[in-house]
Structures are given as C-alpha cells and as structure tokens.
C-alpha cells in the first residue's frame, strides 16, 4: 500500500512506540493515588505535559490531554463560550474550520447562542476585513480560527488574526492539529488544540491548552482530574507517546519540509498536465508542505477513491471530516472552487519520490476510467 493520507493520521512514530511500551509497564497505576506506583504515573504524566507545553509554547499546568482532537475542539469552543457568557453569546469562526468546531457551534446555537462565519477567498485564506467587521459588532464570546486548513493546506494569517482579536478584546481558539510539529504557531492565543495521531502519536489522544487568564467553564461534569476540564482516568501511556512523537516530529520538521515541499510542488504541477479538466486548490505558496488537493471535473470522488484503493493507493476525498458520507466539502464550497471528484494527497514521514511517481503514473488511467463509466467521455 502506498499511503498518501497522512493528514488523516500517521502510523506510530518509532520514538512514540518505544516510550509507549515502557509507559504501559511503568505508568499503569492511578496518577491520583499517593502510593509509589501512583506517584510514578503522576510523574510520567507531568513529564508528558511539560514536553508538549514546551512545543506550543505554554505552561505545563495550561495543558490537558483529551480523548481526541475533536473532543479538544468541542471543549475549547463550548468551554470558552461558557466562561464568557457575560461578554456575549456570539461565536465567530472562519467558514472553513474543522467540522468539530462547526458542530460545537451548531450545539451552541441550539442552546440559544449565535454563530457567525467569516468567509475566505478562492485560496482558502481568511478575509481579514470581514473578520474585523464581525468582531466590531460586539458581544463576541469566542473567535476560533485554524492555523492551517486540514483539507487544502492553506496556512491562515494568524499574526494578523491575533492582532485583530486582541484589539477587539476577544479570546482566540487556534486549531493547530495540522501544523503542530511541522511549523511554529504564533503566540498570543487563548486556547490551542491538537491531535496526536496527526504528528505520529497514538490515536485517541488530543491536546487542549488553556491560558491561565482565559475564562473557561467546562461543559462536562465536574471532576478532580484533568485540571477540572477533562474528567476521568488519564491515559498516561498515550500522553507520553504523544509527547515523544511531537518532540521527534519537531526535530524532523525542517527535513520533512525540505523533502515534502518539492514532491507536493511536483504533484501540483504534473496533475493538471497529465489529467485534463483538473483544478488544484489551496494557496500556492502559503500552505503546508505535505498536503495538496485537486478536483477532477466529470468524476465521482468515491469512485476515484475505490479505483485508487484497488491499486493500493490510499488517499482522501470529499470533506476530510465527513469522508464516510462523501458529502460535498464545506471547505471547498466556502472557497467557491470545484467540489466534484476531489482528492486530497498528504505525505507521511516515510513517503518517497517513488510513491509520488506511482501516484502520477496511475492517476490518469484511473480518472479516465471513472469518467468513462460515468459517460463523461461522451460529453
């Protein structure tokens, strides 16, 4: 299998595997207990928090581990709004946020709150003038903007977003799931989230960082664990493995960027040349190094996925958040670009030039076959 869906998650980093196996033996006890095994587990958990905090950067006591990146976003949105009820009930987000943010916003609206989305341009970049206007209306409880888009790779202008939110006095939640371990995130945010399996950590571990001065009221029942944010027994081994993977990924970031960017540039250049009626989407330069998305006119995304999988090529299609239904991507719709026959290719740490060669060799035939089955070759 040629795996080209790293944006959905990568296999466990060797550094994380080694740490996780050791932690399963050493950190199995309840970290809330005072006996020897419990104190050992607490030390391991605290170490994981310190390592992750150093890469955000944040204070260790500002970091909690969640069950997933999705849960981190749910808690961040709902908890941030809950802590600022007196300031206002308006949630402001970009129109291209992860579905976890949009679903939390929908829940907020059902509870009587308001949710306003700010548009993006055809490259997926946030409209800064529209953002400033949305915040100027007032009564904003929270602003949520991703560091980089999970579907098209466009990096958002966070420095400008941070300045705008600070001027308006509105806390900013940054979804950094796709950028953590690959590129630095500007400081000044109020909350930040991440997902360990995006950087080679274990699935089922998310990160939520909350600045100490940020008003936050957890929407979950009260619990003495997880800083009062995330109730329940902590996943010590998972947290340690996530921290080890993030540290390793950050150390590899420059090398991965240097290897991935030329490969993605080649895909962006060659796919339109090899396949007619294709639109490559996302910002051409202000983007993640490892991710590229393109849409094939007169082709069905699910059929393309199936045909590529039959040839042992693993890619993604449609909205990355709702791939099981392959509904039209809300990200592509917000950008006003082609949504038909959409494919997302994202490179893993071990992706080679030969893997990209194979994709470019197989793709033209696959698209032509799918279009033929749909009768597009007779148009």
Which of 47, 32, 14, 11 has the alpha carbon at shortest distance from 237? Answer: 47
Indicate whether 172 and 269 sit together in one domain.
no
Mean pLDDT of the 136-162 span: 97
pLDDT band at 196 (very low <50, low <70, confident <90, very high): very high
The model's confidence at residue 203, banded by pLDDT at 50, 70 and 90, is: very high
User: Do 260 and 351 sit in the same domain of this protein?
Assistant: yes
Query: pLDDT tens digit string along 276-303?
Result: 999 999 999 999 999 999 999 999 889 9
Whole-number average pLDDT of the chain:
94
Is 296 a catalytic site residue?
no
**Which residue, of 248, 268, 299, is where some domain finishes?**
248
| pTM exceeds 0.75 | yes
Q: Is the pLDDT of residue 324 over 80?
A: no
Q: Are residues 153 and 196 in the same domain?
A: yes
Q: Are residues 270 and 334 in the same domain?
A: yes
Determine which one of 177, 303, 313, 321 is catalytic.
Answer: 321
- Using 50, 70 and 90 to split pLDDT, how confident is the model at 321? very low
Domain boundary among 213, 248, 283: 248
240 with 103, same domain?
A: yes
* Sequence-distant (≥ 6) Cβ neighbours of residue 195 within 8 angstroms: 68, 69, 70, 72, 177, 205, 206, 207
284 located within any domain: yes
Give the CATH number, domain containing residue 335. Answer: 3.90.1150.10
Residue 345 bridge partners (DSSP): 292
250-283 residue pLDDT tens: 999 999 999 999 999 999 999 999 999 999 999 9
Output the pLDDT for position 226: 77
CATH number at residue 95: 3.40.640.10
Among the candidates 215, 248, 281, a domain finishes at 248
Q: Which of 35, 34, 8, 2 is nearest to 293 (CA)?
A: 8
Q: Is 84 in the same domain as 214?
A: yes
Measuring CA to CA, how many Å separate 366 from each of 33, 293, 325?
Answer: 57, 17, 21
Check whether residue 198 and residue 226 sit in a common domain. yes
3 is a domain residue: no
pLDDT at 361: 98
Quick check: is 280 in a domain?
yes
Q: What is the pLDDT of residue 224?
A: 81
My answer on whether 73 and 137 are in the same domain is yes
**pLDDT tier for residue 58 given thresholds of 50, 70 and 90:** very high
Look at residue 365 and tell me if it is in a domain: yes
Provide the number of structural domains found in the chain: 2
Of all residues in the chain, what percent carry a pLDDT higher than 90?
91
Q: Which domain holds residue 207?
A: 13-248
For the stretch 215-256, pLDDT in tens is 999 999 988 887 889 999 999 999 999 999 999 999 999 999
Mean pLDDT value of segment 324-328: 61
């Amino acid at each position: 299998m040629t795996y080209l869906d790293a944006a959905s998650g990568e296999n466990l980093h060797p550094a994380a595997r080694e740490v996780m196996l050791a932690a399963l033996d050493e950190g199995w006890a309840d970290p809330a207990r005072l006996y020897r095994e419990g104190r050992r587990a607490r030390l391991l958990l605290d170490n994981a928090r310190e390592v992750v905090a150093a890469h955000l950067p944040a204070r260790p006591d500002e970091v909690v581990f969640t069950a997933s990146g999705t849960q981190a976003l749910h808690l961040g949105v709902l908890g941030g709004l809950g802590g600022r009820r007196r300031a206002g009930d308006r949630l402001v987000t970009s129109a291209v946020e992860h579905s976890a943010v949009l679903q939390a916003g929908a829940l907020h609206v059902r509870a009587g709150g308001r949710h306003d989305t700010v548009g993006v341009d055809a490259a997926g970049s946030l409209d800064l003038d529209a953002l400033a206007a949305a915040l100027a209306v007032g009564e904003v409880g929270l602003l949520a903007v991703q560091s980089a888009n999970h579907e098209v790779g466009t990096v958002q202008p966070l420095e400008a977003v941070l300045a705008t939110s600070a001027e308006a006095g509105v806390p900013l939640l940054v979804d950094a799931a796709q950028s953590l371990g690959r590129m630095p995130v500007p400081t000044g945010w109020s909350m930040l989230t991440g997902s360990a399996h995006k950087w080679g950590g274990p699935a089922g571990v998310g990160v939520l960082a909350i600045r100490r001065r940020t008003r936050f009221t957890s929407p979950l029942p009260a619990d003495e664990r997880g800083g009062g944010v995330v109730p329940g027994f902590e996943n010590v081994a998972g947290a340690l493995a996530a921290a080890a993977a993030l540290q390793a990924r950050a150390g590899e970031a420059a090398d991965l960027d240097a290897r991935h960017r030329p490969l993605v540039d080649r895909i962006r250049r060659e796919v339109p040349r090899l396949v007619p009626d294709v639109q490559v989407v996302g910002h051409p330069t202000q983007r993640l190094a490892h991710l590229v998305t393109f849409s094939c006119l007169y082709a069905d995304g699910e059929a393309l996925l199936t045909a590529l999988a039959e040839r042992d090529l693993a890619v993604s299609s449609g909205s990355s958040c709702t791939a099981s239904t392959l509904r039209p991507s809300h990200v592509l719709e917000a950008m006003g670009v082609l949504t038909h026959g959409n494919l997302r290719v994202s490179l893993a740490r071990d992706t080679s030039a030969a893997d990209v060669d194979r994709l470019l060799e197989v793709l033209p035939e696959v698209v032509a076959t799918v279009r033929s089955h749909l009768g597009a070759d007779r148009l």
